[in-house]
Amino acid sequence: MSTKETPPTRSAKRWLGACLLPLSTFLGFVLLFALLFRDRLLPGKAVDVVPAIGIEETITRSTTSEHRMSSGKPLFQASGWVEPDPLPIKATALTDGIVDQVHVLQGALVKKGDLLATLIGDDNRLERDAMAAKLADMKASFDAHCVGTQIAIRQIDAEKAMLEVAEANVEEAADKLRRYDKMTEGAITGDERLAVRLDHRRRLAEVDLAKARIGEIAEELTKIAYEILAIQAQIKGAEIDLEKAELAYKRTRIHAPVDGRILALKAAPGAKKMVGMDEEDSSTIAILYDPAHLQVRVDVPLADAAGLSVGQAAKIRCNLLPDEIFEGIVTRIEGAADLQRNTLQAKVRIADPSDKLRPEMLSRVEFLETLREDKSDPSAIGVAVYVSASALTEGTVWVCDADTRRAERRQVVSSATAENLVRIDSGLRPGEWVVSDPAGLREGERLKPLFNERR
Over 70: is that where the pLDDT of 416 sits? no
Does 90-119+252-289 carry CATH code 2.40.50.100? yes
pLDDT at 182 over 80: no
Pick the more confident residue, 373 or 246. 246
Burial status of residue 238 (CB atoms within 10 A of its CB: 0-12, 13-18, 19 or more)? buried
Class for the domain spanning 123-249: mainly alpha
Strand-pair category, 253-255 with 97-102: unpaired
pLDDT recorded at residue 63: 39
Question: Out of 9-13, 200-204, 210-214, which region has the weakest mean confidence (pLDDT)?
Answer: 9-13
pLDDT for res 288: 92
Between helix 190-250 and helix 122-182 the angle, nearest 10°, is 170
Query: Would you state the pLDDT for residue 72?
Result: 59
Structure confidence at residue 41 (pLDDT): 57
Share of the chain above pLDDT 70, in %: 83
> Alpha-carbon dihedral of residues 186, 188, 194, 198, nearest 10 degrees?
-150
Average pLDDT over residues 334-353: 86
pLDDT value at 102 more than 80:
yes
Q: Read off the pLDDT of each residue in 311-323 and give the average, rounded to a whole number.
A: 85
Going from the C-alpha of 211 to that of each of 150, 157, 201, 218, the distances in angstroms are: 20, 12, 16, 11
Domain boundaries, the chain: 41-64+375-455, 74-86+293-368, 90-119+252-289, 123-249
pLDDT tens digits along 43-88: 677 777 778 776 666 554 443 333 333 335 788 888 889 999 888 9
pLDDT at 373 over 60: no
CATH number, span 74-86+293-368? 2.40.30.170
Q: What is the mean pLDDT of residues 310-314?
A: 87
Query: Bridge-partner residues for 261, per DSSP?
Result: 109, 289
Please tell me the least confidently modeled range out of 30-44, 187-201, 311-325.
30-44
Mean pLDDT of the chain: 79
How many C-beta neighbours within 10 Å does residue 242 have? 20
Q: Read off the pTM.
A: 0.51
Domain 41-64+375-455 classified CATH 3.30.365.10?
Answer: no
Over residues 197-203, the mean pLDDT reads 80
Beta bridge partners of 51: 433
What is the chain's alpha carbon radius of gyration, rounded to the nearest angstrom?
Answer: 49
Of the two residues 197 and 87, the one the predictor is more confident about is 87
- Report which DSSP code applies to 338: B
Band of pLDDT at residue 449, cut at 50, 70 and 90: confident
Cβ proximity of 316 and 364 under 8 Å: yes
More reliable by pLDDT, 231 or 8: 231
The pLDDT of residue 425 is above 80? no
pLDDT at 217 over 50: yes
The predicted structure's pLDDT at residue 453: 42
Residue 346 has pLDDT above 70, yes or no: yes
What average pLDDT score do residues 192-219 get? 80
455 has a pLDDT exceeding 50: no
Tens-place pLDDT, residues 114-164: 899 999 888 888 888 888 888 898 888 888 888 888 888 888 888 788 878
pLDDT, one tens digit per residue, over 380-391 is 555 677 777 777
What confidence score (pLDDT) does residue 96 get? 86
Residue 2 — pLDDT band, cuts 50, 70, 90?
A: very low
